[in-house]
Amino acid sequence: MAFFHTHIITGPIHSRRLGSSLGVNLSSTKEKVCNYNCVYCECGWNTEWTGHPTLPTCAEVEGALDTALAQLRELNKRPDSITFSGNGEPTLHPDFPAVIAATLRAARKHFPDNPPIVTVISNATQIGRPEIVDALALCNKVLLKLDAGTPHAYALINRLQKGFQLDKISVEQSAEEFYPQLVENLAAYPHPYTLQTLLFRGEYEGERIDNAAGSEWEAYKNQLKRIQPPAIMLYGLDRETPAKQLIKLSAEELEARAEELRALGFNATAFF
Ligand code: SF4
């Protein structure tokens, strides 16, 4: 069953990577809103959508966050992180910068001595936009996705949705055309961040996918040399995936890949 967020705020839940995490969903609570359609997406496949989803307004997000943080303060349960992930890509929200500013305000208001960190988990497609880069720079932790070392694997795994339209955002390029731009945007990203990569193997629509071995893993390492990410987080499948023939890597395999990256001089960590 897909892991779908039915409210703006979820949790706090325990996260493998962030500790106690209060989730914020900037997408619709009725459908996934993403310009990717990853084969492993825990929200399931994109729906046949209208292009006019009802996204929460900045005021609605601020109100929901205010209520949730006030309750947690009463219970003396400060979350470690306020985390933007949800039913899609958070940076697609038309008021993303205002939402981040409101979140920082709410965190300081309710936990002035030790506010929860603000984390954004992003697919990185919008980091070519200066206003998004500026908003992300205000956050404590930014995780940017890169799952593939070649345009072909990128198209297979992340399935950039050519024709996607939302507010002023539209995807005009194919995945193969966009991939070099994504790599260059990551290489040029001017603030601290962690590159997050989900490693797995399997098959989808008759095509074999394996980003953790062979030529694809070598190509990924070459892209890392170009990008020079400040930190790398490798992780494996955790929940049910929409593509059914995907195989989770063992903890030992993930750790071995992280060790390989550390031997190349990267700050890499594996999460199981
Ligand atoms: S980027 Fe995230 S939300 Fe979008 S399809 Fe991929 S896993 Fe799902």
pLDDT of the residue at 49: 60
Q: Which tokens go with 22?
A: 């209060």
H helical segments located in 29-95: 58-74
Is 149 a member of any domain?
A: yes
Closest-CA residue, ligand 1 atom 8, reads 41
Is 131 a member of any domain?
A: yes
pLDDT of the residue at 48: 66
Is 4 a member of any domain?
A: no
Task: Domain count for the chain, please give it.
Answer: 1
Containing structural domain, residue 140: 9-271
State the distance from the centre of ligand 1 to the C-alpha of 164, rounded, in angstroms. Answer: 14
pLDDT tens digits for range 92-149: 999 999 999 999 999 999 999 999 999 999 999 999 999 999 999 999 999 999 999 9
pLDDT of the residue at 117: 97
State the distance from the centre of ligand 1 to the C-alpha of 190, rounded, in angstroms. Answer: 23
147 lines ligand 1 (CB under 6 A): no
**What kind and span of H or E run contains 110?**
helix 96-110
Is 141 a member of any domain?
A: yes
CA of 87, closest atom in ligand 1:
3
C-alpha of 4 from chain center? 15
Strand order in the sheet with 19-24: 9-15, 19-24, 81-84, 117-122, 141-145, 194-198, 231-235, 268-271
Residue of 49, 123, 204 best suited for mutating to test ligand 1, as the one with most atoms within 8 Å of CB? 123
pLDDT of the residue at 143: 97
pLDDT of the residue at 217: 98
pLDDT of the residue at 51: 58
84 lines ligand 1 (CB under 6 A): no
Tell me the CATH number at 263.
3.20.20.70
Is 1 a member of any domain?
A: no
Is 108 a member of any domain?
A: yes
Q: Which residues contact 72 (CB under 8 A, 6 or more apart)?
A: 12, 22, 78, 79, 110
pTM of the model: 0.95
State the distance from the centre of ligand 1 to the C-alpha of 271, rounded, in angstroms. Answer: 18
Contact 144, 195 (CB under 8 A): yes
Pair type for strands 165-166 and 141-145 = unpaired
pLDDT of the residue at 167: 80
Q: Which residues contact 207 (CB under 8 A, 6 or more apart)?
A: 156
CA of 86, closest atom in ligand 1:
3
160 lines ligand 1 (CB under 6 A): no
Pair type for strands 165-166 and 169-170 = antiparallel
pLDDT of the residue at 50: 59
> What value does the mean pLDDT of the chain take?
93
pLDDT under 50 in the chain at which residues? none
Is 3 a member of any domain?
A: no
